[in-house]
Amino acid sequence: MTAPALQFDVFTLFPDVFAPYLQSSILLRAQQRQLIQIQLHNIRDWTTDRHHITDDEPYGGGGGMVMKPEPIFTAVESVLGSPPTCPVILLTPQGRLFNQGVARQLVQPALEGLTAAAELPSPRLALLCGRYEGIDERVRQYLVSDEISIGDYVLTGGELAALVVIDAVSRLIPGVLGDPDGAEDDSHASGLLEYPHYTRPPEFRGYPVPEVLLSGDHARIARWRREQALLRTWQRRPDMLPNAPLSDKDRKFLAKLEAELPQEPDA
Ligand code: ADE
């Protein structure tokens, strides 16, 4: 049995919330095929007091509770060593914003491991889920190596964010998606939003599928898809265009759009 391409170690007070998502669909298959391994660690298991307390009142007063440092340090160091040799990522709205580029960074050690000549131990990513009002600052300072936010809103804890990171990173490992090129055309992967998709029937409630897709002309279809991706990105996410890799043909198409359909100025 070969080592998985990537191992996730999730530290959480609510391991049960992960199972329904991780035990379904593509991530379940990826685990069954040993492409990824996900280990859930309940921080409460590393408490030493009779009541298994993981939080306490904030020094200086104020509302809310703060996650205590001891069980978190003990949990992470017991599993990963002291100091941990893999990234320890805290999920927090104060972290750097997660996007496709960050997902690509995080999967990189796994991709390098797949092409290494000798079999190495699996690269690991530790994900630490915060809860309550916050986490003792010493965890950030002395244990965590990276902080990630999945968006500018506040969740009740880092668990959903950890699932988002696991999902977005795992699908970049070759073989996780059925289609070997599955992740390449995705929105964001190419720096553009993805083109629209259609399947049978060719006409539904009078709404037809664009004729070009039924034509069997692969060059025309490829050009149409590229132009639709450009159009969509120009309409919905023009902020992405300056960073997208564009050909001369793409630029001409965008210039034509600008000339024909001047964009509404922001309201
Ligand atoms: N925990 C609470 N809100 C979060 C967010 N937006 N991203 C990551 N972790 C979080």
For the entire predicted model, the pTM comes to 0.94
Active site residue 121: no
Active site residue 133: yes
Q: Which of 49, 112, 133, 211 is catalytic?
A: 133
Active site residue 186: yes
The pLDDT tens digits along the chain (267 residues) read 589 999 999 999 999 999 999 999 999 999 999 999 999 999 999 999 999 999 999 999 999 999 999 999 999 999 999 999 999 999 999 999 999 999 999 999 999 999 988 888 899 999 999 987 899 999 999 999 999 999 999 999 999 999 999 999 999 999 999 877 778 778 888 899 999 999 999 999 999 999 999 999 999 999 999 999 999 999 999 999 999 999 999 999 999 999 998 766 554
Q: Find where tokens 């970049």 sit.
A: 172
Q: Is the CB of 170 under 6 A from ligand 1?
A: no
Could you give the residue range(s) of every CATH 1.10.1270.20 domain in the chain? 203-260
Q: Which fold has domain 6-178?
A: Alpha/beta knot (3.40.1280)
Å from CA of 157 to ligand 1 middle: 6
Domain at 203-260, CATH from 3.20.20.60, 3.30.1300.10, 1.10.1270.20, 3.40.50.2000: 1.10.1270.20
Listed residue (61, 43, 64) closest to 52, CA to CA = 43
Measured CA to CA, the distance from residue 144 to residue 153 in angstroms comes to 21
Could you give the residue range(s) of every CATH 3.40.1280.10 domain in the chain? 6-178
Tell me the one-letter amino acid at 174: P
User: How far, CA to CA in Å, does 109 sit from each of 5, 34, 62, 113, 228?
Assistant: 9, 16, 42, 6, 34
